[in-house]
Amino acid sequence: SAACRLFAPSTRRELALFMKALPLLSSYGVKRWRLKRLPPDARDAAWDSHHLWAAERGRRLVADLAGFYTKVGQITGSLNQMMPPAWCDALAETMDAAPPRSFRHIKRTVERDLGRPIADVFETFDETPVATASIAQVHRARFNGTEVAVKVNLGHKRLLLADVDAMYRQAVLLKKLRLDAGLDLPSVVRAYRDICADEFDFRIELEKLERFAKLFRDDARLCGMM
């Protein structure tokens, strides 16, 4: 809206989250109150119908805001034992929802970090990504005669951290309004906020991969994969 455009991008996104998420979450409180007088069978059917309605709006929220909320959609959509089937089905598409960045952007990022043209480092570098996520994009390449995977940081750190902080504030508000279904959402978001910055440092990921390889280097089931 015109009013939202007056604010900084991070504030604008937080306002958009609030305006989209609060009515959705509030609808569950209203529904719970309305269904108290119904028999159990009718109540279950009504809940199934409401989950379908709400899940579609949750999917749109994730698609509209993207960024960190894509990650939230991916996590939520995988919680088959906790979430209603309608939500898991609606959010399943977020598993592959991140659109690829242009090769021009990838090339510029790789060459800036290496300080050299891609052609001077890799014999080949596939312009089509094999995987794209909210944080990074992966391309096949050949380095010193070896097929390698090049994971390129997409540079969304500031946006993602701002989104996490926004979601934390929203979680605190929902808890105060008792719209969190009894879940300790602030603790969940705070725990992720404490580690999410590390996701942008691929050196930490490399250390973990090397540690994993060292621990399982004599495992016959994995030795052909490492």
Closest CA to 73 of 84, 87, 52: 87
- pLDDT tens by residue, 132-149: 877 889 999 999 999 999
Residue range 158-192, pLDDT digits in tens:
888 888 888 888 888 878 877 666 667 788 888 88
DSSP assignment of 35-62 equals GGGS-HHHHHHHHHHHHHHHHHHHHHHH
Contact 157, 197 (CB under 8 A): yes
Q: What is the pTM of this model?
A: 0.68
pLDDT in tens, 93-115: 777 657 788 999 999 999 999 99
